[in-house]
Amino acid sequence: MDGDRIEVRDLRVMGVHGVLPEERERAQPFALDLDVGLDLRRAGVTDALEDTADYGALCTRAVDVVAGRSFLLLEALADAVARALLDEDDRVATVQVTVRKLRPPIAAQLGSVGVRVVRDRAAAGTRHAPPGAG
């Protein structure tokens, strides 16, 4: 993602997401990185919140998705967060959302597993049928 952006790093949220039965029984910790692309030139000149996207509101929207809904796949969770951020403010042109599961049920020594999705306003309403569908 090139150009102006608002960055949020390591937003921590508890949520119920995963395929395995034990992941569906209780909340677990997730960390999100949000890169929100929009033109920040006007805000840079005016120094006014109304000339930019409010990162507090963006964080609240992301938290609402992670804590308020449940997904089997991190891919679906990241997509839902990205779409919610695009819906939050019309000035947002692109979003990059990274979701990391901090305690994945894997018998290996690792810090986290995660996915990253990039969505833009122009393609936000476009969904492709999965292979074999139709």
Q: Which residues are catalytic?
A: 101
Q: How far is Cα of residue 76 from the mean position of the Cα atoms in its chain? A: 10
CA–CA gap between residue 55 and residue 6 (Å, rounded): 7
CA–CA gap between residue 105 and residue 131 (Å, rounded): 28
Q: What are phi and psi of 39, to 5 degrees?
A: -80, 115
